Homo-oligomer: A and B are copies of this chain.
Amino acid sequence: MNETEEQPKHKPDALRRLLAPRSIALVGASAAPASLGGRALRNLERFPGAVYPVNARYQTLGRWTCYPSVVSLPEAPDCAVLAIGSGSVEPALAECAARGVGGAVVFASGYAETGRTEDRAAQDRLVAIARAGGMRLVGPNSAGFANLLTGAVCGFPEFPASSRPRPGMIGLVTQSGALGLALSQAAEHGALFSHVLTCGNSCDVDVADYVAHLAEVAECGAIALAYEGLAGPGKLARAAEAAARAGKRVIVCKLGLSRTGASTARRHTGTDPGSHDGFRTLCDASGMVPVERIETLVETATFFAKTPGPSRAAGVAVASGSGGTAILAADAATRAGLALPQPGDETLARLAAALPPFAAAGNPCDASAQVAADPALMKVVAEALLSDPAYGALVVPWGKAYGSENIAFLGEAALRFGKPVCLVWMSQWLEGPGAKEAEETPGLALFRSLDACCAALAAWQNGTRPAA
């Protein structure tokens, strides 16, 4: 029972209260470290707001006073996390409603996703209780959400560490908790997340709500979305348009576009996966950028978070330290429909003056293996190409993994010229020296696939969607 287009039931600030809470109750908080209640409590250790563990079996838990019930809490918390079995959810939720809680997260499974009528009815009863109490509801069958800007981690898995606001932060929205966690582990090598928001069965709060919320969060520069199904596309389209008005793109991987995938999706969260054509229409109309391969979602969203504003020119330049990677870049650019025009005479002269005779001035520019021995060479090449008005962006296929002062330089040049520089990690030492440094460099977008890089650049240029 998702919200349909015609029934916007909630005050707009209700979701904000839930997703940026100042106080959090954890019903089912536990001292058992492996239990959901124990894991969720550990996730709240760094939350600077009020934390209220609720469990009649404890007087205290860690440094917190433990309360026997939601009704007994000293204030009505903005968010209640229900880390309890499905049999106890309904009365606990009713208690939350009675206490004036802002919104709730339900971990328990065994609702609409089983496909059984009685389980869907139980889910509908949760929605009814929440609506009657003016509460928003995340789940059931959900891993919860993490607001990494405020430290409000309202879920049981290990989310990335909270972080001060930084350029290039993305908000990650997934229906599947497991997928959200797998993708957010990109934080381990330098990707920056403002939020990781998962919604499971989406009985009330769905991915469209999350996108609409992130549209309003200034620190979130782009939104990465992976979802299976929706009650209707209109709400997501409106949310994506709100994000676009706020200057941020929604990069989306739609699960279940195949027939077998769709039937698997129906079993998973009980939401309607919709059709392939419907998804394409939705992207075209709302400006969402689709990606087919889930492994490119986070890097593509990070590119958009680091690359505000439109392209200044239709051409893209390639500067490489090897002929082989230059050829691969040209092939990938062609597949994505990117133009690689030759540089102007002035640029050519600058390149020819700097490069050794066995290097190749032009576009792609193969500066030769000399760039590893002489970092200054890549600087000259990058500056020459970024100066050329024919180019709106620079792609740098990066061969062997090694630390290099050029990584910081390329990020600085990108900001100085107001043109994105995409460093494409060609080494199969995927997290080798320099990768994390590149990812953490403002202005520099790191990709691990030339095709993903070129598709992102094409989507950025077109303002619509990437070539296939």
A interface vs B, CB < 8 Å? 34, 109-110, 113-114, 141, 157-158, 174-179, 181-186, 188-189, 191, 226, 228, 255-261, 263-265, 267-269, 292-295, 298, 321-328, 330-331, 333-335, 340, 357-358, 360, 362, 364, 366, 368-369, 373, 399-401, 426-432, 448-451
Which residue in chain B gives the minimum CB-CB distance to A174? B324
Q: Are B323 and A268 in contact (CB under 8 A)?
A: yes
Given A259-B334, A357-B114, verify A185-B427 contact (CB < 8 Å): yes
Shortest Cβ distance from residue A169 to the other chain B in the assembled complex, whole angstroms: 15
Cβ-defined partner of A293 (8 Å) among B326, B362, B449: B449
B400 touches A327 (CB 8 A): no
| Complex contacts, A189 vs chain B, CB 8 Å | 428-430
Contacts of A428 in B (CB 8 A): 182-186, 189, 191, 295, 298
Please list the 6 inter-chain residue pairs (A to B) with the smallest Cβ-Cβ separation, ordered nearest first: A176-B324, A268-B323, A178-B322, A258-B334, A186-B428, A185-B429
Q: How far is the CB of A271 from chain B (nearest CB, A)?
A: 11
- In the complex, the chain B residue whose C-beta lies closest to that of A200 is B323
**In the complex, A253→B328 CA distance in Å?**
10
Tell me whether B185 and A114 are in contact (CB under 8 A). Answer: no
CB neighbours (8 Å) of A182 from chain B are 322, 325, 399-401, 426-428
Identify 12 new A-B residue pairs, CB closer than 8 A, beyond the known A178-B400, A182-B399: A34-B373, A109-B368, A182-B400, A182-B426, A182-B427, A185-B400, A188-B401, A256-B331, A258-B334, A260-B364, A268-B323, A294-B426
Q: Give Cα A205–Cα B223 distance, bound, in whole angstroms.
A: 50
19 contacts between A and B (CB under 8 A): A109-B358, A177-B369, A178-B322, A178-B399, A182-B401, A255-B327, A255-B328, A256-B327, A261-B327, A264-B323, A264-B330, A264-B364, A264-B366, A268-B323, A293-B449, A294-B450, A295-B426, A298-B428, A430-B431
